[in-house]
Amino acid sequence: MDGKKNILTKKVVIILVKFIILGPPGTGKGTLADGLSKRLRLKHISTGDLLRTEVKNASSLGKKIENVLSKGELVSDNLIKDLLKKNLPINDFILDGYPRTLEQATDLEKINEIDYVINLQSISEIIIKRLSARRICLNCKSVYGSNILPIVRGVCDKCGGSLIRRADDSPKTIENRLITYKKQTEPLINYYKEKIINIDGNNTPEIVLGITLKELNDRGIEARA
């Protein structure tokens, strides 16, 4: 597998690489993606952010998406595929929140072949504890939890917005989400078996980022100064 491509310039080595992050809910996929995007200078692509941007821009695709969301329906795989065709860079990105099914994985490979798949692993007890403690800012969407506490309880450090618990972060709902993940998304681990990098997600975000960077460094992908 040609997982990384080095382009030599006068003094700089540019690494062109494409990642996705897999893992059950509550393993810190978004947090890890943010950390990697900064340390490796990759573009962090979130399908949720792309959907919101298209709707906000009122593009023809955004209007189709808004029509679906206004009915309380799930955005179809075909619309997500169109979204990625329009917005996914050729190289240097980390994709968070997609794919979630084998069908989506095959769609993605037709758009852009992935180099590495980071698979965050964590036990159910820790996941339930994390998500039950998770709070999200209503305004800027910053995330807090047992490892990241706000200075003032219930108030976002960044913008002063109110912190709330998502409806789907209740213990019973979390258990159902884990069952859905096991059924729909775990088969992707076998699909990507030649590209998988397994990471212990039971640690703090800082430790998980450090472990991941070491694994990538061992494969010739170094953090950029």
Task: Answer whether residue 58 is part of any domain.
Answer: yes
Residue 85 lies in a domain: yes
| pLDDT per residue as tens digits for the range 80-100 | 999 999 999 999 999 998 999
Long-range pairs of 215-218 with CB within 8 A, sequence gap ≥ 24 = 216/40, 216/116
Between the alpha carbon of residue 194 and those of residues 109, 115, 148, 189, 224, the distances in Å are: 14, 10, 34, 9, 26
Confidence of residue 195 (pLDDT cuts 50, 70, 90): very high
Domain-located, residue 178? yes
pLDDT tens string 18-75: 999 999 988 999 899 999 999 999 999 998 889 989 999 999 999 999 999 888 787 8
CA distance 70 to 56: 13
Q: Is residue 21 part of a domain?
A: yes
Task: Give a yes or no: residue 96 inside a domain.
Answer: yes
Segment 218-224 shows an average pLDDT of 87
How confident is the model at residue 168, as a pLDDT? 79
Q: pLDDT averaged over the chain?
A: 89
The residue among 163, 97, 175, 96 whose CA lies nearest residue 133 is: 163
pLDDT at residue 2 is higher than 70 = no
Task: For residue 225, tell me if it sits in a domain.
Answer: no
Q: Which residues are catalytic?
A: 29, 100, 134, 166, 177
Residue 48: CATH number of its domain: 3.40.50.300
Print the domain residue range for 93.
5-218
